[in-house]
Structure 1
Amino acid sequence: MPPDERSIIHVDMDAFYASVEQLDHPELRGMPVIVGGLGPRGVVSTCSYEARPFGVRSAMPTAQARRLCPDGVYLWPRMARYEEFSVRVFEVFHEVTPLVEGLSLDEAFLDVTASLRLLGSVEAIAQRIKHAIGERTGLVASVGMGPNKLLAKLASELSKPDGFRRITAERAQRELAPLPVGRLWTVGKVTEQALHRLGIRTIGELAACDTARLAGALGRQAGAMQALARGEDDRCVEAEQAEQSIGAEHTFDTDLAELSLAESWLLRHCERIAARARERGLSGRTVTVKLREPPFVTHTRQAQLCSPSASVRDIHEVARGLLETWWRAQRHPRLRLLGVSLSGFAERRQQDLFDPAPTARLPDEVQDRINAKFGSGSLVRAGVLRTHRQD
């Protein structure tokens, strides 16, 4: 199908992490909320729109954000909680099309071309998505529509917050031309500076530039970049692939030098990834431990489970052995970051009547039920509690 006959939707949740915090804590509504690492090495994950007039932005060091917005509310991320909302959002996506390409927990492309005959116009489908997300989560999504990924994403970005906009193929160049060249997909800081040296500051100027002159500065990518500047983009929406791994990690504000505390963090990570695996109906065979020494020396250690599992006990037993072996091999062990991941997924087999596993699974099942009822993290193993004092 020609690219200009497709109907692509881009959905991006507005200030996702901060919005979830304001939803869970109504007293924070209307206040500048900044979510991210709170220590000296912390980075802003996202911030509410109330924080943005102060100059606070994602990926900014938290220390800089505090200088710009000293009266803001600073919170650690609660990834398990955000994942709960993400599941509800993506359920909405899959109700209108199987062609969903997730970019993150809160952002995705949808190809709804084949859904138009059943569900109506692209605007009707986009409005349905936006309304359903609001109804089921209480959160706000910005929705962009276009004949390709480039224009759909641009439409949502230009209409934020609470956006709803469509850019057609006919209006593409008119919409793109006055925008700064840095707004174009694939144009990073280095490319932007190279274009500025050529006197190119807008997307319209990029589209009109002599291709040979442009190639002298940008090489082979010049032609593709000019096509984007004209609003042309033939990339397809890539439907989600089967999950390859599930992981959790934490960067410490102060280098961790105590094995028992490292083991507590390891258990916390194992609880989290095992719960996510069970939620998705997955069981994995490969456990990988990620260990980063200061300043940035990263090691990985990997081992196989006897059989695929989503049990905290099974995963933690292997991960703990990997951690302890590494730790004892170091003269002065220090950790800046510790992570665990589970991979090598297999479909869960049906349990045998005489399989002893049900007894081993009981703590996980009880934990799942209580956390589902009262919120993620309501019930944790005692060994995890030390890590909560460091949050």
Structure 2
Amino acid sequence: MTSDLHRVIGPDLSDESTDILHVDMDAFFASVEIARDPSLRGKPVIVAGLGPRGVVSAASYEARKYGVHSALPTAIARRRCPHGVFLTPTTSYGEVSRAVMAIFREFTPHVQPISVDEAFLDVAGARRLIGSPAEIGRAIRERVRADHRITCTVGIASTKFLAKLASEHSKPDGLGIVPAATELEFLHRLPLRAIWGIGEKTAEKLTRLGMRTVADLARLDVDALAASVGTASAEHLYALARNIDPRPVRPERVEKSISAETTFDRDAPDGAVWGPALLELSRKVASRARAAGWAGRGVTVKIRFGDFKTITRSRMLSAPTDVGQEIYAAARDLADAAATAPVRLIGVRIDHLVEAAAVGRQVALGEPEHGWRDIETVMDAAVAKFGKDAVGSAARMRRRDSRVDTPDSGNPRH
């Protein structure tokens, strides 16, 4: 736990308003690998795609000392940490995630997963049976460690926003509590980038207005803020700078997915032919996700060969996304490795869906620095106004006559 959080924690850990827990698994994928192979403990473990376009999914804290972090290209990670243990992601993470979420539900039915390795809990109703939020947080950490030999960090506060900040400032393997009486004291000392929705370019705009901390942001009039970042963003930032976050913890829903696929009139011999189709499908899936307010962390590619043999290959991303180019990058990597014969059908799916508003900075507000998302959002608007043929990739236009159909299999399903 950081010294900053220690100074904020007050003596009354039973504060009735601190009922929201944010539980975040520490270096989850890497921790699961270390639990499976204890000989890796203490080593710089890096879970990553090992192909030429691979990226890091998770890095142990030993690897982070060398500047390795999630979403870093694997090639750069190898240069920074050549002695690291590089492992390919496996399907075991989903199994451990489900088991950990089941532990959470033993303490309260109000569990809202926002990723494969983190969730919000509302423990207001568990006080009488189990104890204070602090006691519940400690019990959860002990159970996860005992049952799965991995660690988690718990943040406790009156809102989702502040509970997540508390966990971020308590990592790794910590417990951070921000009583309501001291929540603004804690929040206002933080830098601007602590606020969800403030990325690099927004931070630059606010810095030009003389702001450095959340306290500076909280003092600014919402109209003055809107003149710099726009009305919607201004209202969002104005509220969070005052810890105004009325979102409740919504119990876990039945998992959904969004998918699309296409069949070729002639078997596609290689990636030069099926690649543009995969890109178009990835953008279609992303557009549907944005329209529905979802972002997905899991990407799956479906491939059917000329002999009708069908395979699927999946990957977990380092963070949820609703950007077609990011979905395509993962899908293309999977397809390049799996498409060993001419392809009759290809499809892409995203799952492990979370509310885009819960993801954080770039997905929540569509930060200007996220160029591809801006481009795709403009494409969404053009399609909505002029029809689906209004925009598209050059590759799509070149091969329009070679397609048989694009079955619409992408509606979210329960």
* TM-score, normalised by the number of residues in structure 1: 0.65
Separation of aligned partners in 2, 1:245 and 1:212: 39
Residue 178 of structure 1, aligned match among 171, 175, 189: 189
Q: How does 1:32-51 map to 2 (within 5 A)?
A: 32-51=44-63
- Partner of 1:269 in structure 2? 312
**Unpaired runs of 5+ in structure 1?**
274-289, 299-319, 334-339, 346-391
Greater relative contact order, per chain length (Cα 8 Å cut-off, separation 6+)? 2
Structure 2 residue identity aligned to 1:230: R
Q: CA, structure 1 residues 344+169, in 2 after alignment: closer, same or farther (shift >3 Å)? A: closer
Residue of structure 2 aligned with 1:27, choices 36, 39, 56? 39
In structure 2, what is the Cα distance between the partners aligned to 1:110 and 1:149?
A: 9
Q: 1:126 aligns with which of 112, 137, 160?
A: 137
Offset at 1:297? Answer: 11
TM-score normalised by length of structure 2: 0.61
Match of 1:208 among 197, 219, 232: 219
> Residue deviations 1:253-308, cap 9 Å, x none?
x95889xx9548974428x89xxxxxxxxxxxxxxxx9x9999999xxxxxxxxxx
SS in 1 for 2:65: helix
Give the whole-Å Cα distance in 1 for the aligned partners of 2:65 and 2:57: 17
- Residue in structure 2 matching 1:217, options 210, 223, 228: 228
Partner SS, residue 176 of structure 2: strand
CA distance in 1, matches of 2:136, 2:148: 18
Tell me if structure 2 keeps the 8 A contact 1:33–1:48: yes
8 Å CA contact retained: 1:35, 1:44 = yes
Aligned pair count reads 289
- Letter of the 1:269 counterpart: T
Segments of structure 2 that go 5 or more residues without pairing to the other structure are 1-15, 262-269, 275-301, 316-323, 333-342, 348-398, 404-408
Residues 282-337 of structure 1, C-alpha deviations (whole Å, 9 max, x = no match): xxxxxxxx9x9999999xxxxxxxxxxxxxxxxxxxxx97449xxxx99999xxxx
Measured after TM superposition, the shift of residue 222 of structure 1 is 2.0
Alpha-carbon distance in structure 2 between the residues aligned to 1:155 and 1:33: 26
Q: 1:93 to 1:247 in 2, by over 3 A?
A: farther
d(CA) in 2 for partners of 1:196 and 1:12? 30
Q: Which of 227, 232, 252 is the equivalent residue of 2:244? A: 232
Aligned partner of residue 169 in structure 2, secondary structure: helix
Distance in 2 separating the partners of 1:293 and 1:93 = 30
The aligned runs of 1:1-391 (5 Å cut-off) are 5=17, 7-78=19-90, 80-220=91-231, 221-245=233-257, 255=271, 263=304, 267-269=310-312, 322-323=345-346, 344=413
Deviation at 1:223, TM superposition (A): 3.5
CA contact (8 A) 1:182 1:188 kept: yes
Asked if structure 1 preserves the Cα contact closer than 8 Å seen for 2:303 and 2:311, the reply is no
Deviation at 1:224, TM superposition (A): 3.2
Letter of the 1:136 partner, please give it: D
Percent of pairs identical after alignment?
43
**C-alpha contact (below 8 Å) 1:150/1:231 kept by paired residues:** yes
- Assess if the C-alpha contact under 8 Å between 1:66 and 1:72 holds in 2: yes
RMSD: 3.9
Tell me by how many angstroms 1:193 deviates. Answer: 2.1
Question: By how many angstroms is 1:33 displaced?
Answer: 1.0
| CA distance in structure 1 between the partners assigned to 2:187 and 2:230 by the alignment | 23
Q: Residues of 2 paired with 1:175 and 1:188: CA distance? A: 21
Give CA deviations for 1:206-262 in whole Å, capped at 9, x if unaligned.
11223332221122232431221122221111222222238899xxxx95889xx95
In 1, the alpha carbon distance for the partners of 2:411 and 2:39 equals 38
